Chains A and B, each alone.
Chain A
Amino acid sequence: MKNMVFPGDMVSNAPIRNAYVYVEDGKSYAMTIGTYDAASGQFVPLEGNWTPRIEDTVIGIISSERNNVYEVDLNFHGRALIIGGKFEKFSFKVGDVVEATIKDIEDRRTIILVYPRLLSGGLILLVKPSKIPRVIGKDNTMVKQIADSTKSTIAVGRNGMVWLNGGDAGLAAAAIQRIENEAHVPGLTERIKNMVEKTEKR
């Protein structure tokens, strides 16, 4: 693979600002496996964990409920909470799948979620968080393409959980898993398009 860098590889002689690069003695080194294009300064990580950011859309499973406060399992090492208020009563049950937005992150490990939406039925797919941007695509094009062709409802969480329901959910799941495995190979959009459309015509 071209321009592949490994942890500790020097990517630049000068300090550069990048989430996957650290600076020591005025030089920049890679922190993770990825591809780095020196001309555009773009670092694409091939592996990685999810770091929560405010306004991220996530998908999780309700793991406990007490006094209108719900704890959500986001496949994350910290806690995630949906806190109901006086006028905001939720009626989720343990095991329900919800989509929500991050409002706040306390101490970098307690996530406060708002606008929860119950996702009933369907199946959950665990995808590497570093590949989620590819699953979504530019302006949601990739996920829209899969959803339109398979007539499946798809919700993508930044934490690596993808929820699918209805239509040809099996094909949609296969397409998403294919994106996860092949995101670094050029021509991905074309391949996924062929994959979902071929089956549609059948």
Chain B
Amino acid sequence: MASKANKPELIVNGKRLDGRGFRELRPIKIEAGILKNADGSAYLEWGNNKVLAAVYGPVEAQPKHMADPTKAIIKCRYSMAPFSSLSEHGRSGPNRRAIEISKVTKEVFENVVMLNEFPGSQINIFIEILQSDGGTRAAGITAAAVALASAGLHMKDLVYAVSVGKIGKELVLDLDMIEDNYSDSDMPMAISPRNGGLLLLQMDGEYTKEELAEAIKIAAEAGKTISKVQKDALRSVYEKVEERYNGE
């Protein structure tokens, strides 16, 4: 977190810096199946975040000693492009932060993808952040879920992720970069919408017990919007083809 000494006012006249309400998401746009060489792919724009996710697999597990004879393994690479943000990124391979996010993303999808269908194989997930503005791990997970679905891998659910933070005493949804740096706390969550199961919960800062319960509720409410965007993205791939023939 940035220094508290020069902390800017994050809430002005009951609105956030970018004019959003406390429980308002940034605009989200997803496009599925845009990379022809990948088995599944998605491009996501979430506010100023721009994310590309690609899925390859199942392929033979490499190196072979990593292969599990009972189930598939998932490999995930989250990486920020060198030009993605104002600070330095990706000049010398993955840093500590990228390794951590790759790991937690992998663990989210290990709970969702039906790994026992492809024993001895490997599923590769690549998440490339082209432009970042806070909440990129949530954006990455949301995009990767769409990419996995468009790859046709069997999954229990279409996961989404979103962050809830705290500015002063207010709980706010979907923090951007400035809010992320100066807010009192930040909590990205990945949720399985089918049963509300939490697949990722990382916390930076402090919450009371009541605030935590409220934050999860806010995220689940916002998830309805995110899930709809995800499904519309997948649906439009097929509808585009269909529309072409409706005129004939």
Cα–Cα, bound, A126→B118 (Å):
20
A184 interface hit (Cβ, 8 Å): yes
B45 interface hit (Cβ, 8 Å): no
Cα–Cα, bound, A181→B143 (Å):
23
Q: List 15 A-B contacts (CB under 8 A).
A: A1-B238, A6-B158, A7-B156, A8-B194, A10-B194, A33-B150, A45-B152, A49-B58, A49-B118, A51-B117, A77-B61, A78-B121, A184-B238, A184-B241, A185-B242
Q: Is B241 a contact partner of A48 (Cβ separation < 8 A)?
A: no
Per a CB cutoff under 8 Å, which of A32, A181, A185 touches B149?
Answer: A32
B interface residue numbers (CB < 8 A to A): 40, 57-61, 69, 114, 117-122, 149-158, 192-194, 230-231, 234-235, 238-239, 241-242, 245
Residues in B whose Cβ lies below 8 Å from that of A45: 152
A163 interface hit (Cβ, 8 Å): no
Cα–Cα, bound, A108→B117 (Å):
9
- Name the distance in Å between B121's Cβ and chain A's nearest Cβ: 4
Residues in A whose Cβ lies below 8 Å from that of B239: 1
Q: Which residue in chain B gives the minimum CB-CB distance to A187?
A: B245
Known: A78-B60, A108-B119. A1 touches B114 (CB 8 A): no
Q: Is A185 a contact partner of B241 (Cβ separation < 8 A)?
A: yes
- Mostly, the A contact residues are loop
Residues in A whose Cβ lies below 8 Å from that of B238: 1, 4, 46, 184
Cα–Cα, bound, A184→B119 (Å):
30
Cα–Cα, bound, A29→B151 (Å):
18
**Sample of 10 further A-B pairs with CB below 8 A, known A7-B155, A22-B156, A77-B122:** A1-B238, A6-B158, A6-B230, A6-B234, A8-B193, A47-B149, A48-B154, A77-B58, A107-B119, A191-B245
Q: Is A31 a contact partner of B192 (Cβ separation < 8 A)?
A: no
Interface size (A, Cβ < 8 Å)?
Answer: 31
Known: A33-B234, A184-B241. A6 touches B149 (CB 8 A): yes
Cα–Cα, bound, A142→B192 (Å):
40
Q: Which residue in chain A gives the minimum CB-CB distance to B112?
A: A7
Q: Which 10 A-B pairs have the closest CB atoms?
A: A47-B152, A8-B157, A77-B121, A48-B152, A7-B155, A31-B154, A8-B194, A77-B58, A109-B120, A185-B242
Q: Is A77 a contact partner of B245 (Cβ separation < 8 A)?
A: no
A130 interface hit (Cβ, 8 Å): yes
Residues in B whose Cβ lies below 8 Å from that of A6: 149, 158, 230-231, 234
In chain A, positions 34-67 with a C-beta closer than 8 Å to chain B are: 45-49, 51
Q: Is B152 a contact partner of A33 (Cβ separation < 8 A)?
A: yes
A20 interface hit (Cβ, 8 Å): yes
- Name the distance in Å between A3's Cβ and chain B's nearest Cβ: 11
Residues in A whose Cβ lies below 8 Å from that of B192: 8
Q: Which residue in chain B gives the minimum CB-CB distance to A191?
A: B245
